[in-house]
Amino acid sequence: MSVERLINLLVTVTLVEMMVTVGLRVTFAELVATVSDRGLVARTMLANYLLVPAVAVLLLLVFHAHPLVAAGFLILAVCPGAPFGPPFAGIAHGHVPQAVGLMVILAGSSALLSPLLLYVLLPWLAGGAAPAVDAAGMVGTLLITQLLPLLAGVLVNHWRPHLAARLVGPCELVSKILNACVLVVILTVQFPVLMEIKLTALAGMLALLIASLVIGWLAGAPDPASRKTMALTTSLRNAGVGLVIATGSFAGTPAALAVLAYGIVAVLGSLLVALWWGRQASAQAART
């Protein structure tokens, strides 16, 4: 088995396990409460599937990114719904149930919308340098690796809540181990290339992260907790989904490295923002 196939298999198993774990923590009541707020859902979809990809395309054009590197960043730009949203919202003193609902909505919808957006945007941005996008194949892959495992977890939590409560802890531990394995394997294989990332590329990644946070903040509800939640939900792109697409459709290209690089920047940057907001909220609570 080649290294690329091994990485793709490991990433796929990790994504499936993470989606089941996310589903085990979600109740239908939380989903209904979020979905019933049509304005919030509309702003979430607009921010994550239109505004963030538009900013990403603009930055890639401004920085004259290599077509296959651009493909990697574009993949993440159209893949929202990262499972880090709810815990980061908790750190920031945001609205955790809302973060869970938004994450599930985005994770589910991205199985259909992300491949379609790539099918439209990637040939225009990367031209002939990028492989042809099999949108139907990506939809099928993401339905199997993301939407169905997520639904399975939600159904277990609905029908057997006590079983779900017992499974959450071990599943979260397995998720951490698998994510660590993915990170170690990809960094080991791609470390020399990763070290060649230029400061201009890092500046572009930071610009996209800041723009995503601002877009999410403006798209949130008026109260600060909801704004923090939307900002973090929007800034955190789903690197697991991005790596499944990149290692499956763009094997042997810099696309997977670009996904990994921006995924790390987005997670670390969003975590720092969440910690800062959390300290501010704690200090304000201590004064009152």
Each residue's pLDDT tens digit, 164-205: 999 988 988 888 888 788 777 777 776 666 666 677 888 889
- In the predicted structure, residue 277 carries a pLDDT above the cut 90: yes
CA neighbor of 104 nearest in space, from 174, 161, 158, 166: 158
In-domain check, residue 105: yes
In-domain check, residue 215: yes
Residues 25-44 pLDDT 10s: 778 777 787 778 889 999 99
In-domain check, residue 236: yes
How many domains does the structure of the chain reveal?
A: 1
Mean pLDDT throughout 123-147? 68
In-domain check, residue 52: yes
- In the predicted structure, residue 13 carries a pLDDT above the cut 90: no
- In the predicted structure, residue 96 carries a pLDDT above the cut 80: no
Output the pLDDT for position 206. Answer: 92
- In the predicted structure, residue 260 carries a pLDDT above the cut 90: no
**Burial letters 259-283, b for 16+ CB under 10 A, else e:** bbbbbebbbebbbebbeebbeebee
- Measured CA distances, 96 to 155, 259, 286 (Å): 20, 26, 21
Mean pLDDT throughout 109-122? 84
Q: CB-based burial of residue 128 (10 Å sphere; 0-12 exposed, 13-18 middle, 19+ buried)?
A: exposed
Q: In terms of residues, how long is the chain?
A: 288
Residues 215-243 pLDDT 10s: 999 998 888 999 999 999 999 998 777 87
Mean pLDDT throughout 48-61? 93
Output the pLDDT for position 6. Answer: 73
Counting DSSP H helices and E strands in the chain, the numbers are 14, 0
The CATH number linked to 169 is: 1.20.1530.20
Output the pLDDT for position 226. Answer: 92
Mean pLDDT throughout 249-267? 79
pTM: 0.80
Domain with 247, as residue range(s), is 3-283
Do residues 18 and 175 lie in contact, with contact meaning Cβ atoms separated by under 8 Å?
yes
Q: CB-based burial of residue 193 (10 Å sphere; 0-12 exposed, 13-18 middle, 19+ buried)?
A: exposed
CA distance 132 to 51: 24
In-domain check, residue 288: no
- In the predicted structure, residue 4 carries a pLDDT above the cut 70: no
In-domain check, residue 204: yes
Output the pLDDT for position 210. Answer: 96
Mean pLDDT throughout 11-17? 81
In-domain check, residue 9: yes
**Burial letters 152-164, b for 16+ CB under 10 A, else e:** ebbebbeeeeeeb
Output the pLDDT for position 133. Answer: 62
Sequence-ordered list of residues with C-beta below 8 angstroms from that of 14, at least 6 positions apart, any chain: 175, 178, 179, 181, 182, 240
Range with the largest mean pLDDT of 120-124, 129-133, 182-186, 213-217: 213-217
Output the pLDDT for position 197. Answer: 67
CA distance 49 to 83: 17
The more confidently predicted of residues 87 and 186 is: 87
Do residues 144 and 180 lie in contact, with contact meaning Cβ atoms separated by under 8 Å?
no
CA neighbor of 139 nearest in space, from 245, 222, 22, 258: 245
Strands (E), the chain: none
Percent of the chain with pLDDT over 70: 89
Range with the largest mean pLDDT of 18-32, 70-84, 208-222: 208-222
In-domain check, residue 112: yes
Chain mean position to CA 241: 7
